[in-house]
Amino acid sequence: MKKVLITGSGGILGSELSNRLNELFDVLALPKSSRNNFLDITDFDMMYSIFKNFEPDFVINCAAFTNVDSCESNKQIARNVNVKGLMNLLKCMSKNSKMIHISSDYVFDGKNGNYKENDMKEPINYYGKTKLEADNLLMGSNSNYLIIRPNVLYSSNLNENHFLSWVVNSLKEKNEINVVNDQISNPVYVTDLVEVILSSLFVEYNGVYHFGSEDVISRYDFALLISRIFRLDRNLINPIKTSSLKQVAKRPKKSFLNCNKIVNDLKIDLYSSEYSLMRIYNS
């Protein structure tokens, strides 16, 4: 049985990926925040000993410092996790193993949208800069690698912290929410991303791939769609502009990704946000 090491297994992607892969592989998936068995990619000695004992065939790096505003005020921690953490993993990996790393749409400046894998990257916040540095580090290494670049992730677990859970839980509690109508993306249902990652463990494909939904949608329209499918009160959702939030980190406006490469190479279908939300609601 092939061995898979999953980092960041307490997160939105890492948790669902760990559950799915557990059925098929010998998986080592330790969360960072755990009292006993934890995994910290910034701790080289810990990583070295984990690799020596487990000897993974695949490493799936879902660990990241993902709070975009905190990255601005905690630059050293952000770079330690998002760049040096990956460097530690690469140093510990054997030549025969493969790294599957998760990048972000935030490597782009968001001026034009519809970004292809090789388009110019000019991140406008520190989180995006660290994600780009990590991509470049991996591409410049001698490792066998796959980089998947998704945007806005959401899952069916409404106890986790993501856009869908925020909208559903707020509306259920009859709280008004202000949602930006000038940030446009093609959001990713984590279950679909997990299936793409799973397929990469069976079929050899390398390099960089974008992954998102079939449609392109603003956060505000996505919130309205959520309210319709979950039968919640749309009148509680107010459209606002990003500039009115006065966030510490700038946000790319049109960060939607062109996913033609993954569709053509892997012969997969992309799903609409409506279909993905229906699947969640019906389950």
Question: Would you name the residues annotated as active-site residues?
Answer: 127
Residue whose CB is less far from ligand NAP, 42 or 174: 42
The minimum distance between CB 106 and ligand NAP, in angstroms, equals 7
The minimum distance between CB 235 and ligand NAP, in angstroms, equals 27
Residue whose CB is less far from ligand NAP, 81 or 229: 81
Interface residues toward ligand NAP, by CB under 6 A: 7-8, 10-14, 31-33, 39-42, 62-66, 81, 85, 102, 104-105, 131, 150-153
The residue with its CB nearest to ligand NAP is 11
The minimum distance between CB 185 and ligand NAP, in angstroms, equals 9
Phi, psi dihedrals of residue 23, rounded to the nearest 5°? -75, -20
The minimum distance between CB 212 and ligand NAP, in angstroms, equals 10
